Chains A and B, each alone.
Chain A
Amino acid sequence: MTSRETLAQLKAKFGPAILRADLPADNRLLLYVEPFAIKPVCQYIFRDLDARYVISIGADDRPFSGQFLVAHDFAFDRDRILCSVLTHIPADKPKVDSISDVVPAANWAEREIRDMIGIEPVGHPYPKRLVLPDGWPDGSHPLRKDFAWNQVPEGFDEEREFKFDEPPEGCMVVPFGPFHPTLDEPAHFRLYVEGEMVRGCEYRGFMVHRGIEKLAESVLTYNEIPMMAERICGICGCVHNVAYAQAVESAIALRLPPRAEYIRTIMLEIERLQSHLLWVGLACHIVGFDTLFMQSWRIREPIMWIAEKISGNRKTYALCLIGGVRWDITPDIKTELRQLLDKLEAEWKPVVAAVLKDKNIQARTSGVGVADKTACKNTGLVGPVARAAGVDIDCRRDHPYAAYDRVDFDVITADGCDVWSRVVVRATEVFESIKIIRQCLDRMEPGPLQADIKDELPVGRLGLSSVEAPRGESHHFVITGENNRPRRWRVRAPTYQNLQGIPAMIKDQQLADMTISLGSIDPCFSCTDRLETIDLRSKAVKVWTQEELVKMVKARKA
Chain B
Amino acid sequence: MTEHVSQADVRAIAEYARIGLTAEEVVSMTADLNAIIDSLAPITEYDLEGVPPTFHPIGDLSNVMREDKVRGSFTQEVALSNAPKQEDGSFLIPSILGEGGDR
Are chains A and B native binding partners rather than an unrelated pairing? no
